Amino acid sequence: MCIEELSDTLIDHFNYPRNIGIIDYPNGEGFNGDPKCGDYLEIYIRVENNLIEDISFLVFGCFGAIATGSMTMELAKGKTLEEALKITEEDIIQALGGLPEDKKHCSNLGVTALKNAIKDYYSKEKN
């Protein structure tokens, strides 16, 4: 695969991932992947009044995992929990301007970790 085949947006999110790290006082955390054998992503959210006020991630993986994780943050930040739960793998791929076929599975990392973080938030709020 040549770099010319990658969109400028994808390259930008790989080189300069948004919202990387761990936010202060997250009230929801979600994980996806397997750090022992491949791509792994952790998402931290802070929800206030049903809105994702802040969000961040840590990732171990290839350029696809980094770029899709970054784009997931961009798409989810400022959304209601219900809106964030509707973000799909295809939304992430389209927002990045496409992904090589062998990297499309990476879009699942962020989507699933985000859903897990929201589920964690709901379980903490219930208790």
In this predicted model, what pLDDT tens digit does every residue of 68-120 receive, in sequence order? 999 999 999 999 999 999 999 999 999 999 999 999 999 999 999 999 999 99
Residues 65, 93, 106, 109: which is the catalytic one?
106
Quickly count: other Cβ atoms within 10 Å of residue 34's Cβ.
10
d(CA 23, CA 12): 22
Identify whether 106 is a catalytic site residue.
yes
Q: How many domains does the chain have?
A: 1
Residue 116 is part of which domain span? Answer: 3-126
Whether residue 82 contacts residue 41, with contact meaning beta carbons closer than 8 Å, is answered with: no
Determine the average pLDDT of the residues in 30-55: 94
CATH number at residue 78: 3.90.1010.10
Residues in the chain: 127
- Would you say the pTM of this structure is higher than 0.85? yes
- Which residues are paired to 113 by β-bridges? none
pLDDT above 80 (res 3)? no
Residues 37, 49, 82, 101: which is the catalytic one?
37
**pLDDT on residue 35:** 79
Whether residue 97 contacts residue 72, with contact meaning beta carbons closer than 8 Å, is answered with: no
